[in-house]
């Protein structure tokens, strides 16, 4: 059950929902004295998660920050550097944090540059700059496997009425991670679209179901699928075709790196 | 030769290259007293274009502005409202303006939120907010055809090493316009990827060839292809399948609306 080795795992949007469950499931797959850096805006929920994770023999650090802030990537990297140790075998960054944007309005209502800029900063720039900062701070080296996971959505591929910000942000992120996979031969880049979930990112303080409500058990199982894929990918030999775009039915998991 | 009727045509990035040629070719296809709003940062080049266009019987207004500025969409709309007249038959917005970003660096070097935010503001938010502002200012009405063109790139579909900002921005724009096409049944949304061009958007004051240099004549012919498609699309009956994604070979022109 320790297939992932001694990891340094950074998870954004970890305070609840999908990110929180990823953290807890991942904790079952790592060696003792692994390090978890959990990132979110909500300090209280993060600290509860930390207490739960600490029951395993893990070092857990909370970084309470809004990822759209300029200083956010540096804060996360600083915490990771402080908590990390030389015997880490596996670096895993889970880019999960996302917001819905206002899904009650059509494209023609988005006339405010400030609103669109804020959304893109929070959902696209933040994922790019955090990933870049983490890869710089933990460069390629012998004995260290590195994996970046992008939590995606069908909205990255398919347009939905009134979801312009979410669809645009997810499409942008997918392309960004595809370019990364092309550039970094040592890196595993995993794209994962969990499908319908019980909770989706907050919009104006409310929780909205993307299509319909489902049971939490399904979310947990889909997260296990994601992690199984991650575990399997560790032993894989890279091929020249690094960019794997399966059919829509298989879209959930795409291994790009 | 007046297939487009009496138009109000707004073209961004019109001062040179592809945008400038679109303006000149479009001018050959419109009725006298059509209105052209040409938008770019460079006032001198815009004024030269204006002088050239004014040889036809056109009303031409220059809007000298950096499209990443908050006030840019309003400035363009104000000029369009002032110059427009009730006998306009056809509104055409060409979202052409784009910048390359720094294509000398790999993804892992983009750690600055300010840099990435500035790029996305200039290349994604600006196109969304300008399009939204124009559609609000010139709403659906009897006798007015409306068409929005997105100038795209193969980089919207395919990742290229060291082109992370450009690929990400183009992928984001494509999705944005696909959502728009889903939402607005009266609107024609045309996606056009010109292919290799002699000049591509400026990066740090230099002009760079995307793949290799080609002749200007090719650029002119590809623009004519774009405009022919636009003209043909005017008579088309909408089908329920509005989002047309052809194979890569046919990708250049995709009619989404």
CATH at residue A90: 3.40.50.720
- Tell me the chain B residues in contact with residue A128 when contact means C-beta distances shorter than 8 Å: 107, 110, 116, 164, 168
B169 with A169: Cβ contact below 8 A: no
A178: nearest CA in chain B? B159
Rounded to the nearest integer, the mean pLDDT of chain B is 83
With respect to residue A127, please indicate whether it lies within any of the assigned structural domains: yes
* A107: chain B residues, CB-CB within 8 Å: 128, 131-132, 176, 179-180, 183-184
Cβ <8 Å between B128 and A163: no
B229 vs B130, which has greater pLDDT?
A: B130
pLDDT at A240: 32
Assess if residue A165 is contained within a domain.
yes
Cα–Cα distance measured from residue A173 to residue B77, given in angstroms and rounded to the nearest whole number: 31
Please judge whether A180 and B108 are an interchain contact, meaning their C-beta atoms are less than 8 angstroms apart: yes
Q: Which residues of A touch B124 (CB under 8 A)?
A: 116, 120, 168, 172
The interface predicted TM-score of the complex, written ipTM, equals 0.86
Mutate to test the interface with B, among A103, A120, A136 (most CBs of B within 10 A): A120
Q: Choosing among A168, A169, A186, A187, which should be mutated to test the B contact, i.e. which has the most B CBs within 10 A?
A: A168
Domain contains B157: yes
For testing the chain B interface, which of A182, A184, A191 should be mutated: the one with the most B CBs within 10 Å?
Answer: A182
Q: In chain A, what residues touch B103 (CB-CB under 8 Å)?
A: none
Interchain proximity A161–B183, CB inside 8 Å: yes
A-B C-beta contacts closer than 8 Å: 176
**Chain B CB contacts of A73 below 8 Å:** 111, 113
* pLDDT 10s digits, B47-78: 999 999 988 899 999 999 999 999 999 999 99
Residue B220 lies in a domain: yes
Q: Least CA distance to A106: which residue of chain B?
A: B183
* B122 part of a folded domain: yes
Q: What percent of chain B has pLDDT over 90?
A: 65
Report the residue from A107, A117, A172 with minimal CB separation from B121.
A117
- A168·B112 Cβ contact <8 A: no
Structurally, how many domains does chain B consist of? 1
Q: Which residues from chain A sit within 8 angstroms of residue B163, using beta carbons? A: 179
Cβ <8 Å between A113 and B132: no
**pLDDT-derived band of residue B1, with 50, 70 and 90 as boundaries?**
low
**Strand, helix or coil for residue A187:** strand
Chain A neighbors of B191, CB-CB under 8 A: none
Contact list, B174 vs chain A (CB under 8 Å)? 171
Say yes or no for a CB contact (<8 Å) between B167 and A176. yes
Domain ranges, residue B191: 7-255
Least reliable range by pLDDT among A131-135, A144-148, B6-10, B134-138: A144-148
Examine residue B1 and state whether it is found in any structural domain, yes or no. Answer: no
Using DSSP's 3-state secondary structure scheme, residue A250 falls into: helix
Q: Please list the pLDDT of chain A residue by residue as tens digits (257 residues).
A: 668 899 999 999 999 888 998 999 899 999 999 999 999 999 999 999 999 998 889 999 999 999 999 999 999 999 999 999 999 999 999 999 999 999 999 999 999 999 999 999 999 999 999 999 999 999 999 999 999 999 998 899 999 999 999 999 999 999 999 999 999 988 989 888 876 544 445 444 333 333 333 333 445 666 676 676 666 655 443 333 333 333 343 455 566 65
The verdict on a CB contact (< 8 Å) between A108 and B159 is: no
Neighbour-count burial for A213-242, b at 16+ CB within 10 Å, e otherwise: eeeeeebeebbeebbebbeebeeeeeeeeb
Nearest to B135 among A108, A120, A159 (CB): A108
Question: What is the 3-class SS of chain B, one letter each residue?
Answer: CCCCCCEEEEEECCCCHHHHHHHHHHHCCCCCCEEEEEEECCHHHHHHHHHHHCCCCEEEEEEECCCCCCCHHHHHHHHHHHHCCCCCCEEEEEECCCCCCCCCCCHHHCCCHHHHHHHHHHHHHHHHHHHHHHHHHCCCCCCCEEEEEEECCHHHCCCCCCCHHHHHHHHHHHHHHHHHHHHCCCEEEEEECCCCCCCCCCECCECCCCCCCCCHHHHHHHHHHHHHHHHHHHCCCCCCCCCCCCCHHHCCEEECC
Contact B136 A108 (CB under 8 A): yes
Q: Do A171 and B175 touch (CB under 8 A)?
A: yes
Are the C-beta atoms of residues B26 and B227 closer than 8 Å to each other? Answer: yes
Task: Quote the pLDDT of residue A222.
Answer: 66
Q: How near does any CA of chain A get to the CA of B98, in Å?
A: 16
Nearest-by-Cβ selection for A167 from B135, B175, B184: B175
In a domain, A1, yes or no: no
Domain presence at residue B2: no
Reported confidence tier of residue B111, pLDDT bands at 50, 70, 90: very high
For residue B157, the chain A residue with the least C-alpha distance is A175
What confidence tens digit (pLDDT) does each residue in B26-39 have? Answer: 999 999 999 999 99
What pLDDT score does B137 carry? Answer: 98
């Amino acid at each position: 059950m320790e297939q992932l080795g001694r990891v340094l795992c950074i998870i954004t949007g970890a305070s609840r929902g999908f990110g929180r469950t990823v953290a807890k499931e991942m904790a079952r797959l790592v060696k003792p004295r692994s390090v978890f850096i959990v990132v979110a805006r909500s300090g209280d929920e993060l600290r509860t998660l930390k207490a739960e994770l600490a029951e395993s023999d893990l070092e857990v650090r909370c970084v309470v920050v809004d990822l759209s802030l300029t200083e956010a990537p540096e804060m996360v990297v600083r915490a990771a550097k402080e908590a990390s140790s030389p015997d880490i075998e596996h670096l895993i960054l889970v880019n999960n944090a996302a917001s819905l944007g206002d899904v009650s309005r059509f494209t023609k209502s988005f006339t405010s540059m400030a609103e669109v800029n804020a959304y893109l900063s929070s959902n696209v720039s933040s994922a790019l700059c955090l990933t870049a900062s983490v890869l710089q701070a933990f460069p390629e080296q012998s004995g260290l496997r590195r994996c970046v996971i992008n939590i995606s959505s069908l909205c990255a591929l398919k347009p939905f009425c009134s979801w312009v910000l979410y669809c645009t942000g997810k499409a942008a992120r997918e392309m960004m991670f595809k370019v990364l996979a092309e550039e970094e031969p040592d890196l595993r880049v995993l794209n994962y679209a969990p499908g319908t979930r019980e909770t989706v990112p907050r919009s104006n303080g409310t929780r909205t179901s993307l299509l319909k409500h489902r049971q939490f058990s399904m979310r947990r199982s889909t997260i296990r699928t994601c992690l199984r894929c991650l575990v399997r990918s560790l032993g894989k030999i890279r091929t020249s075709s690094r960019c794997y775009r399966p059919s829509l039915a298989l879209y959930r998991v795409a291994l790009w790196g």
